[in-house]
Amino acid sequence: MAVVLPFSEPELRLLGALLRNKVRFLVVGLSAAALQGAPVVTQDIDLWFEDLSDPKLAAALRKIGAAYVPPFNLNPPMLAGPGTQPFDVVLRMDGLDDFRTEYRRAIEVRIGKLRLKVLPLSRIITSKQAANRPKDRLVIPLLRDALAAQSILPKHRTKQRKSTMRSGAPVQNSRAR
């Protein structure tokens, strides 16, 4: 059966360049929740970078013909160039600890040959609670139910392709509410 990849070739090249250049970032938001089984829909993939002024980030983007565009006027911070379209740059995450602490807690999810660091579901709930926008309030019950569903499954029961999901964090079996 064909492998379903959520990313196009240019998008995979972008992620690969970031990882090869050791740029530290986390997949956050609803795409991170979807990777962990939450039945949510999203249009983009939020990336939280440790340091947007890191020369390694600029070098990685340059290699694939892309660049980071800082915010100006009504334009949010963004990546521009090939393979950047589905990715949104997140400058801060409400309700969470600093990047380094959250990075340590992150789980690792394999997408093809790439190993992405992903914010755990319990921390996504915490950030949505803190952000408290109408769209966050709508999705929180669903995320809580997904976390509850995960709590009964032993780790090995989730579909993986050879240690697809690894956790540096405690098992997510505590309810956030």
Partner 1 sequence: MKRNAKSSGNRRAALMRWAQRLDGEVRAVVQRHPEADADNVRLTLLALQVTPEERLARSLRRGRGFAVFRT
CA gap 176, 84 in Å, rounded: 33
168 binds partner 1 (CB under 8 A): no
28 binds partner 1 (CB under 8 A): no
* Cβ 59 to partner 1 shortest distance, Å: 27
CA gap 68, 77 in Å, rounded: 8
152: which residues sit within 8 A by CB, 6+ positions away? Answer: none
Q: Which of 164, 166, 169, 176 binds partner 1 (CB under 8 A)?
A: 164
Listed residue (124, 134, 154) closest to 36, CA to CA:
124
Report yes or no: 32 and 25 within 8 Å, Cβ to Cβ: no
3 binds partner 1 (CB under 8 A): yes
13: which residues sit within 8 A by CB, 6+ positions away? Answer: 64, 82, 83
Q: Which of 58, 67, 78, 142 binds partner 1 (CB under 8 A)?
A: 142
Q: Which of 14, 15, 30, 106 binds partner 1 (CB under 8 A)?
A: 30
158 binds partner 1 (CB under 8 A): yes
Where does the chain have alpha helices with state H?
9-20, 29-35, 55-63, 99-105, 121-131, 134-151
* Cβ 77 to partner 1 shortest distance, Å: 21
Residue 21 CB-half CA count within 13 A: 19
Q: Which of 20, 161, 170, 171 binds partner 1 (CB under 8 A)?
A: 161
Residues 102-121 as x/- pattern, contact with partner 1 by CB under 8 A = -------xxxx---------
Residues 84-103 as x/- pattern, contact with partner 1 by CB under 8 A = --x-----------------
Listed residue (157, 84, 111) closest to 4, CA to CA:
111
Binding site for partner 1 (CB under 8 A): 3-6, 30-31, 34-43, 45, 86, 109-112, 141-142, 144-146, 148-153, 157-161, 164-165, 175
